[in-house]
Amino acid sequence: MTTPHTIAVLGLGRMGRALATRLAAQNRDVVGWTRSGRASGAVRTTSDPGEAVAKADLVLLALFDGPACRQVLDDIRGALRADAIVVNTSTVSPAEASALARRLGPSYVHAPLLGSVPAAATGALQILAAARQDALDRVRPVLETLGTVRPVDDASTAAALKLVANSSLAGAVLSLRDSLRQADALGLPRAQVLDVLELGRLGGLVAHKRTFLTGRPVAATAEFTIGALAKDMALLAAASDTPLGSAARLADTPAGPEADIALAATVPAVEDAVLEPLRAYIRGHATGDPGHFRDAFLPTAHVEGIRDGAFVSWPLDEYCALFSGRPAPDEPIRSRRIDTVDVHGTVATATMTLAHGADHFTDTFLLVRVGDSWRIANKAYHRHS
Ligand SMILES: NC(=O)c1ccc[n+]([C@@H]2O[C@H](COP(=O)([O-])OP(=O)(O)OC[C@H]3O[C@@H](n4cnc5c(N)ncnc54)[C@H](OP(=O)(O)O)[C@@H]3O)[C@@H](O)[C@H]2O)c1
């Protein structure tokens, strides 16, 4: 068994650059290639991927996604040495990882990475490595200069574990978004809020990403982009065939796909316009005045649910007729709150909880933006027993 001497790094984006730099700093002979031709600074580069891999006994892929991996492997097909090992650190779907493992056979190591650019720079990554034992033994000394190797049974499992790990990161970013929105709504100073959040469960994320979270324009370059994390969540939701809210919530982030993931936590709360019909709806219940419901709903709206065991679908007029124009006698102890609002361009969904005496309702709304204003297109409700 010989340890690889010459390493070709294909893809010199954020991670590829950091990996190539680290390997070169550990006295490996590194040559880099990237599609855009961008120079990497610390390592020798070539504009021809075939030339990059021609002498390499280890080819390390750090590419955006599965299609990029397929494309680059097609491009180097004739140039790859017969004894070269391909180590793929890109985050791809389980099915894509399996297909790549089948395509390259015993010379393939699927090695998705836990950790970002700073961990790559200091050799502190966690590497989920799936390969045949002999291939893994050959590349292990190289991988150990990048971090800790955690063997996994097969490429598909390694890819799936990586996506699940990133779903917790996406969840943390979106949870931080919720906290910052609530703090903003309360008028709390951002610096003080970040100080306190640093003490809690999201402390590591807040401490590491603090420069992105101040609310002021950011000069720092992204370490891990919203686009890459949104890609991962879309891959996870598709692979599991199980709904995953973070996929759409990240994809819709106004900061844009090239921004650092931390900026997804700084997106302001939804615009007031989309809340207006929901607030009119709340006023309708609070006052008993059906005029507020007419402001809230489109005239074509229906209110639907199960009432006394039977499905009801009331047109708006019929729904309005249920209200007397006066508040309910127990109005002082009733409460209502808006739980979620998700805007997707000209449509939105929302949920609300209503505590009306002994009755608790979950209302779900479909909203549409018509011109400059939003209206409720339909409501469905559940009465909790
Ligand atoms: N950044 C992180 O913290 C991090 C951590 C763990 C895992 N990852 C994963 O590691 C991979 C690389 O991430 P990154 O942050 O380095 O992404 P990145 O900065 O966007 O770089 C992506 C790389 O892929 C190349 N590429 C994209 N599409 C291509 C195509 N069709 N053909 C050939 N090359 C293509 C780009 O080439 P050009 O730019 O030269 O065109 C660039 O070199 C991704 O799978 C990501 O999910 C990232």
Cα of 384 to ligand 1 centre, how many Å?
A: 48
Could you tell me if 13 and 144 lie in one domain? yes
185-207 residue pLDDT tens = 999 999 999 999 999 999 999 99
Mutation to probe ligand 1, out of 9, 15, 122, 236 (largest number of atoms < 8 A from CB): 15
Q: Which of 235, 266, 297 is the last residue of a domain?
A: 266
Q: So what's the pLDDT on residue 1?
A: 61
Place of tokens 């059906």: 290
Could you tell me if 137 and 15 lie in one domain? yes
CA atoms within 13 A on the CB side of 134: 7
Q: Which of 220, 245, 266 is the last residue of a domain?
A: 266
137-178 residue pLDDT tens = 999 999 999 999 999 999 999 999 999 999 999 999 999 999
Does ligand 1 have an atom closer than 6 angstroms to the CB of 32? no
Could you tell me if 112 and 196 lie in one domain? no
Q: Which of 215, 236, 266 is the last residue of a domain?
A: 266
222 is a domain residue: yes
pLDDT confidence bin for 3, thresholds 50/70/90: confident
Does ligand 1 have an atom closer than 6 angstroms to the CB of 365? no
Mutation to probe ligand 1, out of 12, 63, 126 (largest number of atoms < 8 A from CB): 63
Q: So what's the pLDDT on residue 247?
A: 87
Does ligand 1 have an atom closer than 6 angstroms to the CB of 37? no
Does ligand 1 have an atom closer than 6 angstroms to the CB of 266? no
What is the residue-averaged pLDDT of the chain? 95
Percent of the chain with pLDDT over 90: 90
Could you tell me if 279 and 247 lie in one domain? no
Cα of 1 to ligand 1 centre, how many Å?
A: 31
82 is a domain residue: yes
26-54 residue pLDDT tens = 999 999 999 999 877 789 999 999 999 99
Distances (CA, A) of 24 to 31, 124, 163: 9, 16, 29
CATH code: domain of residue 211: 1.10.1040.10
Would you say residue 385 has pLDDT above 90? no
Q: What is the rounded distance in angstroms from the CA atom of residue 167 to the CA atom of residue 244? A: 9
Question: How many angstroms separate the most distant Cα atoms in the chain?
Answer: 85
- The residue range of the domain holding 126 is 6-153
Place of tokens 């910052």: 180
Could you tell me if 183 and 313 lie in one domain? no
The CA dihedral of 157, 162, 168, 171, to the nearest 10 degrees, is -110
Does ligand 1 have an atom closer than 6 angstroms to the CB of 62? yes
Does ligand 1 have an atom closer than 6 angstroms to the CB of 54? no
Could you tell me if 41 and 146 lie in one domain? yes
Does ligand 1 have an atom closer than 6 angstroms to the CB of 66? no
CATH code: domain of residue 103: 3.40.50.720
Does ligand 1 have an atom closer than 6 angstroms to the CB of 206? no
SS3 sequence, the chain?
CCCCCEEEEECCCHHHHHHHHHHHHCCCEEEEECCCCCCCCCCEECCCHHHHHHCCCEEEECCCCHHHHHHHHHHHCCCCCCCCEEEECCCCCHHHHHHHHHHHHHHEEECCEECCHHHHHHCCEEEEEECCHHHHHHHHHHHCCCEEEEECCCHHHHHHHHHHHHHHHHHHHHHHHHHHHHHHHCCCCHHHHHHHHCCCCCHHHHHHHHHHHCCCCCCCCCCCEHHHHHHHHHHHHHHHCCCCHHHHHHHCCCCCCCCEHHHHHHCCCCCHHHHHHHHHHHHHHHHCCHHHHHHHEEEEEEEEEEECCEEEEEEHHHHHCCCCCCCCCCHHHCEEEEEEEEEECCEEEEEEEEEECCEEEEEEEEEEEECCEEEEEEEEEEEEC
For ligand 1, atom 3, name the residue with the nearest CA.
116
Q: So what's the pLDDT on residue 254?
A: 81
Could you tell me if 58 and 110 lie in one domain? yes
- The backbone torsions φ and ψ at residue 249, rounded to the nearest 5 degrees and listed phi first, read -65, -35
Q: Which ligand 1 atom is the nearest neighbour of the CA of 17?
A: 16
Would you say residue 322 has pLDDT above 80? yes
97-110 residue pLDDT tens = 999 999 999 999 99
* pLDDT mean over 238-245: 95
* pLDDT mean over 303-322: 96
Would you say residue 361 has pLDDT above 90? yes
